[in-house]
Amino acid sequence: MSYTNFTIETDADGIALVTWNMPDKSMNVFTAEVMKELDAIVDQTVADEAVKGVVFTSGKSTFSGGADLSMIKGMFTFQQEQKKLDPENAAQKLFDLTGKMTGLFRKLETSGKPWVSAINGTCMGGAFELSLACHGRVAANSKSVKIALPEVKVGIFPGAGGTQRVPRLTNAQDALQMMTTGSSLTPQRAKAMGLIHEIAEPAELINAAKAMIKNGLKPVQPWDEKGYKVPGGGIWTPAAAQLWPAASAILRRETAGNYPGGLAILKCVYEGLQVPFDTGLKIEQRYFTEILQTTEAFSMIRSLFISMQELGKGARRPAGIPKSELKQIGVVGAGFMGASIAYVAAAAGIEVTLIDRDMEAAEKGKAHSEGLVKDSIGKGRLTHDEATALLARITPSADYNDLKDVKLVVEAVFEDRQVKKDVIEKVEAVLAEDAIFASNTSTLPITGLAKNSKRPAQFIGIHFFSPVEKMMLTEVILGKETGEKALATALDFVAAIKKTPIVVNDTRGFYVNRCVFRYIHEAYDMLIEGVPAAMIENVAKMAGMPVGPLSLNDEVAVDLSQKILKASIADLGEASVDPRHMALINTLVDDLDRRGRKNGKGFYEYPAKPAKKFLWPGLKDLYPSKPAENFDVLTIKQRFLVTIALEAARTMEEGIVTDPREADVGSILGFGFAPYTGGTLSYIDGMGVKAFVALCEKLAESYGEHFRPTPLLKDMAAKGETFYGRFDPYGKREAA
């Protein structure tokens, strides 16, 4: 029997090697077709008396990333359709659908023949749940092997047996940590936890897997054998009495109860370990069905799984323009940002000419990469040979003529119009006619900078976020005259360095910074009102933000806030800035020299390590705090999320952002907007635009006109629309 996605070869010892190798896919993923074929393979190997056991592996450099986009989308589409067609039985039908993978994996492990999973590369989600259903697991001794159940990061949890098999193989504490964080395991860590049996050199992986079968591997899972005991003794032990209250408290501390998927993991494990395995699977299936129906799961999967993949694969790239093969680029400005951009480009295999005013400055920029490389070697992320090759791809220079052959130049000099003007003119004097010029700027509009260019159609903005090597987002900014070739080239470059791009039209602060400073300015308002600084910071994190707004302001620099406020006044007039905000920042910067983390004092104090930062006590003298009980925690959370989401809605209304996927993904990757909401616009859609408008009006009455809903929002509320319906990124109107 032949299959589209699998091949089967049975050797002289009766061991069938099943190789998963999907055509036209860079990585194996679960689809309806894959599931159907795998089901047939189980039946075939059981029926074939010549087959004594099965080794399951991948024909690609990775093992599998789990479920395919179409499969995930299909679950939500099915759910929405059933709610319309048969609301009374919709939940039962979803329950039956979610049990298909669970049932297939259970069929495999009770087939009566031993299966061994030979893990040769990344093994995530459902692929690792499949491996857990196998009776033996061997992983290659390679740093490319990453094992994880990361579903919680996209709003769900391991729902194909993961919550039942992992805690039956390892202790409950490690099992909970792995699944509630979604963290990756090395083969060594996975073996130490008891999740895999052996580690083999890559060339010997299949032989090692076959040897397990030859050596008498039982075709029975531990939990299916009589007398099986859960590692650590199960739920009713003194150790468990200490673990479970702590686990619940830690989850609450880390998530503030915002992620239903995380709590469901605890429930599945706690309840599942008290019952037989098949009953545990039903418990897991029940909770998985429940979580799939939450707004959080829908929004997170859409933004953090589906939209991120679509944007990363070039959803906004203009059609019909050949892909740019960027083998060499230029970076002008070897300061912190320019040096970091050079590093990520070199890490992606691109040759980089790093230009600065003199060789000393250019060499200093390369030294920054040397520091990053040294750190990566220390953490085992790079070998010495890889590090040497990476650094060899960065060539420092003070001669602009060295840019004459590159197809893309990224300018990353000081945020000053005159400095950038000088660089643009020097670069364009030598740049090839068809090359693209990209400016890395966080504050200066691209259209204005392009006025210094002789070819504005080939001028574009690429805004990187610091630290460049860690931040996954880039804003690609279109000036009024930017052409499609420039956009395509910029997106090709961003894809090459493995970042996620959002495309925005030109405006002050672009998209991310406009939203970020609404968050920070709301904190200024709260300080002035007398909300205790600690309450501001803690409630912001309870709302789902990764750091409090005062801490964030210290990171971006308090004097940068001052510069931005002054620039707004200069360009837009006094009315564009709240004078109380200006007074607060002027006091901190001009009177007290509190500029943020960079000079060791801002809203926080930064003592020498290992001591931790703490809120500056002097804030209470500048703005006396009122008792915390005077303020409502829910209202503070709403103020933070609503003011940011309102700004995102304004950018859509102004045509700055045109695709709701980019607003959502940009808000999460750019500044960590409460990921459980799915992003700024999903936050609005999730509660309903009508409810959001009502909340805005309520907040405006008490906290200022900046909370007033925009005309667009009022119109959408009246029509019952959503952002994903009105601004449908897929080109056809449909309810989100």
pLDDT tens-place string over residues 711-732:
999 999 999 999 999 999 987 5
Predicted pLDDT of residue 211 = 97
pLDDT at 733 over 70: no
Q: Which residues pair with 500 in a beta bridge?
A: 473
Instruction: Give per-residue pLDDT as tens, 362-384.
Output: 999 999 999 999 988 888 888 89
The 10 Å CB-count burial string (b at 16+, else e) for 420-454 is: beebbeebbebbeeebbbbbbbbebbbbebbebbe
3-state secondary structure of 665: helix
Residue 735 confidence (pLDDT):
40
Task: Please give the structure tokens belonging to residue 415.
Answer: 């945020």
Higher pLDDT, 687 or 143: 687
Domain boundaries, the chain: 6-216+230-293, 328-508, 513-726
Instruction: Say how many C-beta atoms besides its own lie within 10 A of residue 625's C-beta.
Output: 18
Does 83 or 353 have the greater pLDDT score? 353
For residues 481-508, give the mean pLDDT. 94
Q: Going by CATH, does the domain composed of 513-726 fall within 1.10.1040.50?
A: yes
Q: 328-508: which CATH architecture? A: 3-Layer(aba) Sandwich (3.40)
Q: At what angle do helices 277-292 and 260-272 cross, to 10 degrees?
A: 170
pLDDT of amino acid 79: 81
What does the alpha-carbon distance between residue 27 and residue 60 come to, in Å, rounded to a whole number? Answer: 7
CB 533 within 8 A of CB 615: yes
Q: Residue 507 pLDDT more than 90? A: no
* pTM attached to this predicted model: 0.91
How many C-beta atoms surround the C-beta of residue 618 within 10 A?
14
pLDDT of residue 466: 85
- DSSP letter for 596, please: B
Question: Cα–Cα distance between 423 and 438 in angstroms, integer?
Answer: 12
Report helix angle 277-292 to 90-109, nearest 10. Answer: 140
% the chain with pLDDT above 90: 84
**Does domain 6-216+230-293 bear CATH number 3.40.50.720?**
no
Average pLDDT, stretch 473-480?
A: 95
Which is nearest to 111 in space by CA: 230, 18, 227? Answer: 18
Peptide bond just before 610 cis, omega within 30 deg: yes
Q: Is residue 595 pLDDT above 90, yes or no?
A: yes
Tally of residues, the chain: 736
pLDDT band (50, 70, 90) for residue 609: confident
The single-letter code of the amino acid at 80 is: Q
Fold agreement (328-508, 513-726): no
Of the residues 368, 463, 521, 581, which is catalytic? 463
Look up 463 and say whether it is catalytic. yes
The pLDDT tens digits of the residues spanning 663-709 come to 999 999 999 999 999 999 999 999 999 999 999 999 999 999 999 99
